[in-house]
Amino acid sequence: MKTVGRWGKAFLRLARVSFVGLPNAERRHRSIGGGDLQPKRSYLLHWLMHALSMAALAGVIGYQLQVEYVRLDDNEGKLLLHHVRMVAKNLALEMEATHQALLGVRGDPTYRARADALDPAPQRLKTLADAMPGVRTISVLDGSGTVTTSNRAELVGRTFAERAYFRSAHDSDDPDAVIISPPFETVLGVYSMNMSMMIRGARGEFAGVVTATLDPEYFTTLLGSTLYAPDMWSAIVHGDGLQFLTVPERADQRGKNLALPGTLFIRHIESGLTETVVTGTVYATGQYRMLAQVTIKPPKVHMDRPLVAAISRDYGAIHAAWREDALKQAWLYLLLLSVSTVGLFFFQRHQRAYDRTVAEARRQAERANEAKSYFLANMGHEIRTPLNSIVGFSELIRDRAFGPLEERYVEAADDIHLGGMNLLTLVNDILDVAKIEAGKMEIERSRVPIAAMLAESLRVFRLKAETAEVTLSAEVDSPDLTVLADERGLRHILFNLISNAIKFTPLGGSVTVTARSAPDGGMVLTVSDTGMGIPASEIGRVVKPFEQIDNRFSRAHGGTGLGLPLVQGLVELHGGRLGIESELGKGTTFTIHFPPEPPP
């Protein structure tokens, strides 16, 4: 039977080619002028998908870099603002302490008399100034601007009526105002600012000024303590826009006027906010920087002008690591783009060469297929004609139509008739399987009475069942039960299932065919036997062409392995489902569900 299987598979392959042309993989190609078969490939689509994927990747990388860039800006702004707040807090505390000192000196008349060698006032002022790290000099000036008392003896007797801090206090209408002088160079050679307050006489007239000169060294140390990167600088600016201190110190920045339209200082002042973080070109240095500024005007000190503390970083330095990372990612992206582009180019070139090879093979296969198709178109007629003659003449000889014959000749005619019928069945089955797989099998549906169909099947197989000593029976839940099916196909299904069931059922067993109405209006047909059963791992094989269970019992009964594949194909053509349940040693049940209407 293995020989029959090999030849049957080869014959089925020829039949498939006859009915379907090329295999499924080959049918996924289209015919081009001249009969050439070329794959349906869209090389432009490859490039479009490549471009879209690379663009999407670039977008993701760009988005991530942008998010990181903004995050760096935000974090750096918060850090700068934190440090400048510390400067502003310390400055405010120092100014409050200085204000309290000025109030104390102003309220003590002993400081107003001109000092002499025995006067303790200068020593008291020296002690007071030494206790305040942010104050360099404390002096009392009379109404003419002459220093009457100071912690520095070299200033006593000198007149400073021309100084801005004296004139502003003299002209002020607010006796409690603290005058913050613009930065200037003192007679002692120190670039500083003064905090001054007016002194009133007994009748409320202007009687002089008490003033404190701020110590730039203290504020320089304070500003320097906030610098955490080499590209940073910090500064203190007078409320009128004159720059007081910068750290690191730059001689060209001393006294520079920042109160010009568009400067970062003016943007801060005009914002009306106490704290700002801005980015732009710094007027004082011409550099593009991030600048955090805080206005200093303690609520306990009635200042005529505020101070502004500022801390700055070079904007390029903030993003130096980001630019390095962005450059690395850009190079990696370009490398990926280059490799993928070159790879796609060579892939398509290789694919085109492969397609040309495949197309040539397809042309040769098509030419060979034409010859095979011509062969198979005539094979059915050419094989069936002599087979029918053999079967017919052997039947006549077996029936002694040509006269009396010895029994041994009759037996020989029986063997010839049986062999011819088996061969004719094999040819028909192979061609039917090929037609089903090729989609060429056509069925004609009609209402088939099931009771009559089952009765016919039992009559056909009754002798075979009796010979095998197998009980054959049928059950129908209604004598009027019909099914919408192809009558010839339904008969073929029943004959194959019943024949297989009898063949694989041992002596004394039984085969039962039942038909009943399905809940959906269709029909359920079952063929059950008490035969050898099918292993669970082998159930999927029995519906494949030329496949059989590999054991001695099945080999003893022979067969081509085409019966169940035919049943499976015919059931699917009807839009039905074939189910197989089996248990070794207990039997097998084939269940077919026929739908009420054919699938659309």
- Taking only the tens of pLDDT, the chain with its 600 residues reads 444 444 455 444 544 444 444 444 344 444 333 444 445 567 899 899 999 999 999 999 999 999 999 999 999 999 999 999 999 999 999 999 999 999 999 988 887 766 554 567 788 889 899 999 999 999 999 999 999 999 998 999 999 999 999 999 999 989 899 999 999 999 999 999 999 999 998 888 999 999 999 999 999 999 999 999 999 999 999 999 999 999 998 878 888 999 999 999 999 999 999 999 999 999 888 899 999 999 999 999 999 999 999 999 999 999 999 999 999 999 999 999 999 999 999 998 998 898 889 888 888 877 775 665 556 545 665 676 777 777 777 777 777 777 777 777 777 777 787 677 667 666 766 666 666 666 666 778 888 898 888 888 888 888 888 888 999 999 999 888 888 888 888 888 888 888 888 888 888 889 999 999 988 888 999 999 998 888 877 776 666 655 555 544 444 454 556 677 778 888 888 888 888 888 888 889 999 998 887 655
Cα(448)–Cα(368) distance, rounded to whole angstroms?
43
Task: Please state, as a whole number, how many other Cβ atoms lie within 10 Å of the Cβ of residue 396.
Answer: 13
The amino acid sitting at 1 is M
SS3 content of the chain, % helix, strand, coil (to 5): 50, 20, 30
Q: Which residues contact 334 (CB under 8 A, 6 or more apart)?
A: none
Please classify residue 240 by burial: count the beta carbons closer than 10 Å to its beta carbon, then call 0-12 exposed, 13-18 middle and 19+ buried. Answer: middle
Q: Which long-range contacts (CB under 8 A, 24 or more apart) does 64-68 make?
A: 65/322, 65/325, 65/326, 65/329, 68/322, 68/325
Give me 40's structure tokens: 């349906």
Quick one: how far is CA 557 from the chain centroid? Answer: 59
- φ, ψ (nearest 5 deg) of residue 562: -105, -10
Domain 82-318 annotated CATH 3.30.450.20: yes
Are the CB atoms for 83 and 228 separated by under 8 Å? Answer: yes
Q: What confidence score (pLDDT) does residue 114 get?
A: 61
Residue 36 has what pLDDT?
A: 44
Write out the two tokens for 549. 């269970």
Q: Look-up: residue for tokens 């063997």?
A: 415
pLDDT at residue 24, as a whole number: 42
In CATH, the number for domain 442-594 is 3.30.565.10
Which pLDDT value is given to residue 388? 74
How far apart (Å, rounded) are the C-alpha atoms in residues 184 and 190?
A: 8
151 within 8 A of 126, measured Cβ to Cβ: yes
DSSP string, 240-269: TSBEEEEES--GGGTT-B--STT-HHHHHH
Compute the distance between CA of residue 31 and CA of residue 369 in angstroms, rounded to an integer: 15
| Domain boundaries defined on the chain | 2-40+325-421, 82-318, 442-594
